[in-house]
């Protein structure tokens, strides 16, 4: 299980991405693909002071997912079905308790920036 201190040490962008994966887990829309995670990040940031994080690009999401997976905070799943070119979009799920994720991430992200 991932320690709270591991999550607290993540950048705010990585925490936003982690929250999006946790939300997909909570809603049972798993595993979540990167385009779904990016959409969830943008929706979440609508409630957060833009100066806290800024705009999240597709590259930001991918870098964050790679780090989260390397740290063991999320798990990556390769799809069973692949396109004719042999490519498939990886999908992600939280490795551990999703409530622990919400307890550990920055308050600005959970509380909508204090609004």
Q: Residue 17's domain is classified under what CATH number? A: 1.10.10.10
Residue 46 located in a structural domain: yes
Token code pair at residue 51 = 């100066």
Domain that holds residue 59: 4-110
56-82 pLDDT, tens digit per residue, is: 888 999 999 999 999 999 999 876 665
Residue 19 located in a structural domain: yes
Selected residue with higher pLDDT from 87 and 20: 20
Question: Burial level of 75, CB count in 10 A (0-12/13-18/19+)?
Answer: middle
**Which pLDDT value is given to residue 115?**
38
End-to-end CA, the chain: 32
Q: What are the helix (H) ranges across the chain?
A: 4-8, 12-26, 34-45, 50-53, 58-70, 98-104, 107-110
Residue 115 located in a structural domain: no
Cis before 31 (ω within 30)? yes
Residue 47 located in a structural domain: yes
76-110 pLDDT, tens digit per residue, is: 987 666 555 546 678 899 998 888 888 888 877 76
Domain count, the chain: 1
**Which pLDDT value is given to residue 66?**
94
**Which pLDDT value is given to residue 32?**
87
Q: Decide if pLDDT at 53 tops 70.
A: no
Residue 11 located in a structural domain: yes
Residue 71 located in a structural domain: yes
């Amino acid at each position: 299980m991932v320690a709270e201190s591991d999550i607290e040490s993540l950048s705010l962008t990585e925490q936003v991405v982690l929250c999006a994966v946790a939300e997909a887990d909570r809603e049972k829309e798993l595993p979540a693909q990167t385009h779904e995670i990016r959409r969830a990040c943008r929706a979440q940031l609508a409630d957060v002071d833009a100066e806290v994080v800024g705009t999240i690009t597709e590259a930001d999401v991918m870098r964050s997912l790679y780090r989260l997976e390397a740290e063991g905070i999320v798990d990556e799943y390769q799809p069973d079905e692949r396109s004719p070119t042999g490519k498939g979009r990886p999908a992600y799920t939280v490795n551990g308790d999703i409530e622990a994720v919400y307890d550990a991430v920055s308050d600005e992200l959970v509380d909508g920036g204090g609004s």
